[in-house]
Amino acid sequence: MRELRLVAKLGDWLIFLVAIGLLLWWFFRRFYKWLHEPPGHRIRKLADSGEVLRDEAVEFLESHGYEVLSGKHRIPLGVKVDEGPLQPTRLYFDYLAVKEDLYYLVKLEKARMPIEWTASGLRDRLMIYSLLFPDCEGIVVADPAQRWVRTVRFKVEDENG
């Protein structure tokens, strides 16, 4: 009887050690995959995720030399203030496009919420996209109705100049 309990205890430990080993192996593989992921992998994955509906905006961007890869993206975010509950929100951009092998996020100008074309206005409205997708060359802001396209890029400067 005593030997049976000892065998059962050893079996429990063996199962526990195998489970821990598998968990450690899984974490190592995930870390290794993340570490060796090629630059731009996240952007290419995003490009494959959305479908492009042919509309006036897509044709307008193509007439300016952009190839629209995907459209209408929604990025879910959570916001937590102090110890309060996690509040869901979303960040939207209209298209992911490529021009001369460089990736761009595209925002269409909306009449109800126009962009303020000052350095601080652009920072407040668009810099989050550059931070979320550092592999992108910039953010293209387009207005197909008014027939204009502008590219916004952010550069971190040092304090001295």
Instruction: Please report whether residue 119 resides in a domain.
Output: yes
> Same structural domain for residues 101 and 22?
no
Paired with 53 in beta bridges are none
pLDDT in tens, 84-135: 999 999 988 888 898 998 889 999 998 888 889 999 999 999 999 888 888 8
pLDDT higher than 60, residue 38: no
> Same structural domain for residues 62 and 20?
no
> Same structural domain for residues 135 and 63?
yes
User: pTM higher than 0.75 for the full model?
Assistant: no
> Same structural domain for residues 7 and 65?
no
> Same structural domain for residues 30 and 70?
no
* pLDDT for residue 106: 93
Rounded to 5°, the CA angle 126-129-131 comes to 115
> Same structural domain for residues 84 and 140?
yes
Q: In which domain, by residue range, is 10 found? A: 1-36
pLDDT in tens, 56-79: 888 999 999 999 888 888 888 899
Q: What is the CATH number of the domain that holds 96?
A: 3.40.1350
Closest CA to 96 of 46, 143, 153, 147: 46
Q: What is the 3-state secondary structure (H, E, C) of the chain?
A: CHHHHHHHHHHHHHHHHHHHHHHHHHHHHHHHHHHCCCCCHHHHHHHHHCCCCCCHHHHHHHHCCCEEEEEEEEEEEEECCCCCCCEEEEEEEEEEEEECCEEEEEEECCCCCCCCCCHHHHHHHHHHHHHHCCCCCEEEEEECCCCEEEEECCCCCCCCC
Tell me how many domains the chain contains: 2
> How many residues are there in the chain?
161
> Same structural domain for residues 11 and 78?
no
Distance CA 11, CA 103 (A): 55
